[in-house]
Each structure stands twice: as structure tokens, then as C-alpha cells.
Amino acid sequence: SAVISQKPSRDICQRGTSLTIQCQVDSQVTMMFWYRQQPGQSLTLIATANQGSEATYESGFVIDKFPISRPNLTFSTLTVSNMSPEDSSIYLCSASGGEFFEQYFGPGTRLTVT
């Protein structure tokens, strides 16, 4: 299984600012994803981070708000731009690889926007 780390683990930010979350995997993986989990809720996929090309966003999420980078097979970043209190959530990175493309998650980044 892949070991995934995220930085920062939590942050409190002012509205109108941006935060970049980093995701590091301990081995090369085929696919990386970013999810949002609002308090007490399930996980919602934001986008698939594609290595060497633009991310693929799910309905309701746009690149201007959530720009994503994936410069190599072990690292990705998600930026939450022009934040508002509605962006307060847990942001989770996941990685998928192996024979059956099992998907593993990082510990999450807990974001509070004031």
C-alpha cells in the first residue's frame, strides 16, 4: 500500500486568501485524486490530478477555484483560491496504483476560513 502525507495538516485562513496543500506519496503511482469532506459528511471528488497535463474536474468544481498541479508521479498540490467560509472543510489526497488500482488516502488537511 502507498503511504501518503499531506501538508499542512490544518490551517486557519482569512477569507479572500489562498492556500496550497501538498500531497506526497512514498512511491510512484498511476493516479492521484483530490477530495473534499465537509464536517460529518461523505467524500466528494474534486478532480483527478493528471501527471503532465491539466487536471480533470468533477461537476461543480473549476480550475480557477481549485488549481491543481502534478509535476511527477509522487507529488501533487491543490490550491483553494479566494477562500470563503464555505470552503471550510477537510481536503484529502488519494493515490491509486497497483494491479487493481487500489486507492489509498492521506491524513487530510483541515481548513477553516474565517
Partner 1 sequence: GESVGLHLPTLSVQEGDNSIINCAYSNSASDYFIWYKQESGKGPQFIIDIRSNMDKRQGQRVTVLLNKTVKHLSLQIAATQPGDSAVYFCAERTNDYKLSFGAGTTVTVRA
Short-list 8, 32, 11, 36, CA closest to 22? 8
C-alpha span between 36 and 47 (Å, rounded): 10
Considering the complex, state which of residue 47 and residue 113 has its C-beta at the smaller distance from partner 1: 47
Sign (positive or negative) of CA dihedral 22, 26, 29, 35 = negative
Which of 16, 28, 101, 112 touches partner 1 by CB under 8 A? 101
Strands 10-13 and 109-113: parallel
Q: Residue 105 Cβ, how far from partner 1 at the closest point, in Å?
A: 4
C-alpha span between 78 and 91 (Å, rounded): 9
Q: Residue 111 Cβ, how far from partner 1 at the closest point, in Å?
A: 14
Q: Residue 108 Cβ, how far from partner 1 at the closest point, in Å?
A: 5
Q: Is 43 in the site for partner 1 (CB under 8 A)?
A: yes
Interacting residues with partner 1 (CB under 8 A): 1, 4, 31, 33, 41-45, 48, 56, 92, 94, 96, 100-108, 110
